[in-house]
Amino acid sequence: MQRIHTVSLLLLLALGASGCEEGIKRPPPVRVNVVNAAAGFAELAFLRGGRDEAALRYNDTADFTFDSDTYTFRITRPSPNQSEQVVVDSFTSTLSPESRYFIVLMQDGVDVNSIIYARPKFDTQSPDFQFSVVHAAPMGPTADVYMESAGTDLLNATPIGTLSFQQDLPVRTLPAGNYEVTLTEPGNPANVLFKSNDVTYPSGASFAMVLTDGANAELSALNLVVTSSTPLVLNDTEALTAVRVINGAADGLARDVYINDDLTAPLVSAIGVGAASAFIPFTPGATKITITPAGNPSVIELEQTVSLGPGAVYNAAIGGDSAELGAFVVADDRRRILDRARVQIFNTINYYETALIFIKPVGTDTSSAFPEEFLNSPSGGTRTPYAPGDYELTIREPIANNVIFGPQPYTLAAGGVYTMVALDSGDGTNASVLFVDDIP
């Protein structure tokens, strides 16, 4: 009897579970894209309820599918010392299955303003594509917006609308195909402010196009972030590029720097050791860099071809000596972060193959500490954020771990942009340091 009762109970439980599964249905899904357009923050986190969904750097995007429901979203940033997350914005919104949503995190002064845009759910079988445009660039100009095929004369075209900061244009559809996005001065299509690449927009897709501030505003005021399942950041194709030359050559000689085989007019003339030029703009693309002794273009010490993008700036650090000269070229993101200092370090020391570079709080013993940078020569690191405060810069050589510079105290300020170049001191053992940009 006991066995019969057990079987009957299991059968009832199974039937009950089946009924529950049939009665509970998951809410319809909703597609959500998030764009971080807040240039003044090192990183923002996007949270749904208490769940951390994504960490987003500037111009990053994230693509989600949520259940249709009402949610409270929060935007946080890490504190300068990384010890906690600070809430910078929060909002509550109901997500409907009839819509597609784009959330844009905009900077408004020292604050973040999150704006959610609901767009009609688009037919994935449509031969067209759907798009809207959002102006999220607080430093960007008011502009007329064109979406045209490559080669279209804008004098004969009609803009799809005019945008200022925090404004958006109504949803539009166009036949799938290749298009360029162009921004012009309002009412003056001859004055082009931004022109994107020729991009293929596939059928049945829905996009948000978000205007963001250019990282290097002196060259390009705007970027365009196209967000969907595959995000894309478009630069202004008509913007110039720019290069700054830093001479850390071990032989102490001044150099001339030429580009693209024009040895009649140097880009940088007679730059001395321990000096940095200004950022010099020119046409982007594949660029051949030639370095010679100052005033002597017939003696070519280095030829190197690099690809330089529009709207981007680069540092070119020269190291080595005349027998084995080298140049390290790297892009520089020069945005100022509201609550951080940002430091980029280059090594041109020729006494040692590598250098261990420490930026530590005052009083830190670096003899067994992990270095911020471990750099060959010539080379450099990326621009790294630091909490504002007092630090010591120390450089050690990698063989005996001896200190060859410092510890030298410096104060790094919020919003500061610092570039440090480690150089030979001239004594055959120790290093010196050149500071460019802000001086700590």
Three-state SS at 19? helix
What b-and-e string marks burial along 45-59, b requiring 16 or more CB atoms within 10 Å of the CB? bbbbeeeebbebebb
pLDDT of residue 405: 97
**Side-chain half-sphere CA neighbours of 180 within 13 A:** 20
Which of 191 and 19 is assigned the larger pLDDT? 191
Can you tell me the mean pLDDT for 233-258? 94
Q: Domain end: 302, 332, 362, which one?
A: 332
**Which residues, 6+ apart, have CB-to-CB distance to 29 below 8 Å?**
65, 66, 67, 68, 97
Q: Which two tokens stand for residue 72?
A: 């409270």
Average pLDDT over residues 239-245: 96
Q: Which domain holds residue 244?
A: 240-332
Q: Verify that 328 and 375 share a domain, yes or no.
A: no
Q: For residue 282, count other CB atoms closer than 10 A to its CB.
A: 14
Residue 265 maps to a domain? yes
For the stretch 300-311, pLDDT in tens is: 999 999 999 999
Whether 145 and 45 share a structural domain: yes
Res. 22 pLDDT band, cuts 50 70 90? low
371-416 pLDDT, tens digit each: 999 999 999 999 999 999 999 999 999 999 999 999 999 999 999 9
pLDDT for the residue 217 = 74
Give mean pLDDT, residues 351-376: 95
As a whole number, mean pLDDT of residues 318-336 equals 91
Please list, in sequence order, all residues whose beta carbon lies within 8 angstroms of the beta carbon of residue 439, skipping any fewer than 6 positions away: none
**45 and 111, same domain (yes or no):** yes
173 with 252, same domain: the answer is no
* Cα angle for residues 123, 127, 131 (degrees, 5° grid): 65
Q: pLDDT tier at 1 (50, 70, 90 boundaries)?
A: very low
94 and 224 belong to one structural domain: yes
pLDDT of residue 2: 43
pLDDT, position 331:
93
90 and 127, same domain (yes or no):
yes
For residues 85 and 216, state if they share a domain.
yes
Q: Using alpha carbons, select from 376, 346, 309 the residue that is nearest to residue 436.
A: 346
Contact 316, 289 (CB under 8 A): yes
Residue 221's pLDDT is 85
Digit-coded pLDDT (tens) for 41-84: 999 999 999 899 999 999 999 999 999 999 999 999 998 888 88
Q: What is the rounded average pLDDT for all residues in the chain?
A: 91
- Give me the number of domains the chain comprises: 3
pLDDT at 146: 97
> What does the alpha-carbon distance between residue 349 and residue 203 come to, in Å, rounded to a whole number?
55
- Asked if the structure places residue 11 within a domain, the reply is no
The Cα–Cα gap between 56 and 111 comes to 16
Q: Give yes or no for residue 230 having a pLDDT over 90.
A: no
Q: Are residues 350 and 400 in the same domain?
A: yes
CATH code where residue 363 lies = 2.60.40.1120
Task: Tell me which amino acid residue 95 is.
Answer: L
Question: Both 214 and 67 in a single domain?
Answer: yes
| pLDDT value, residue 10 | 44
Predicted confidence at residue 4, as pLDDT, reads 40
Q: What local confidence, expressed as pLDDT, does residue 23 receive?
A: 61
Task: Collect all residues with Cβ–Cβ distance below 8 Å to 211 and sequence separation of at least 6.
Answer: 133, 134, 135, 136, 137, 140, 163, 183, 194, 222, 223, 224
Nearest to 163 by CA among 134, 199, 189: 134
Q: Is residue 327 scored above 80 in pLDDT?
A: yes
pLDDT at 6 over 50: no
**Domain limit, last residue, from 208, 234, 260:** 234
When pLDDT is averaged across residues 353-378 and rounded to a whole number, the result is 95
Average pLDDT in the 268-282 region? 96
**Is residue 338 domain-shared with residue 326, that is, in the same domain?**
no
Confidence band, pLDDT 50/70/90 cuts, at residue 196: very high
List pLDDT tens digits, range 157-187: 999 999 999 999 999 999 999 999 999 999 9
17 domain residue, yes or no? no
Q: Which of 317, 332, 347 is the last residue of a domain?
A: 332
Do residue 56 and residue 131 come from a single domain? yes
Over residues 185-207, the mean pLDDT reads 94
Using the 8-state DSSP alphabet, how is residue 83 labeled?
S
Residue 214 placed within a domain: yes
Q: What is the pLDDT of residue 229?
A: 67
Beta bridge partners of 437: 418
Examine the pLDDT at 334 and tell me if it is beyond 80. Answer: yes
Is 15 part of any domain? no
So what's the pLDDT on residue 324?
Answer: 87
Q: 391 and 364, same structural domain?
A: yes
For residue 12, tell me if it sits in a domain: no
Predicted confidence (pLDDT) at residue 12 exceeds the cutoff of 80: no
Q: What is the dihedral of CA 256, 262, 265, 266, to 10 degrees?
A: -20
User: In Å, what is the CA distance from 257 to each residue of 21, 244, 288, 309, 316?
Assistant: 73, 11, 10, 19, 10
Measured CA to CA in angstroms, residue 61 lies from 19, 82, 115, 346 at distances of: 41, 22, 14, 30
1 in any annotated domain: no
Residue 291, both tokens: 């370095």
Dihedral angle sign, alpha carbons of residues 212, 215, 217, 220: negative
Can you give the pLDDT at residue 290?
97
On whether residue 217 sits in a domain, the answer given is yes
Strand partners, 260: none
Q: In this structure, are residues 354 and 376 in contact, taking their beta carbons and an 8 Å threshold?
A: yes
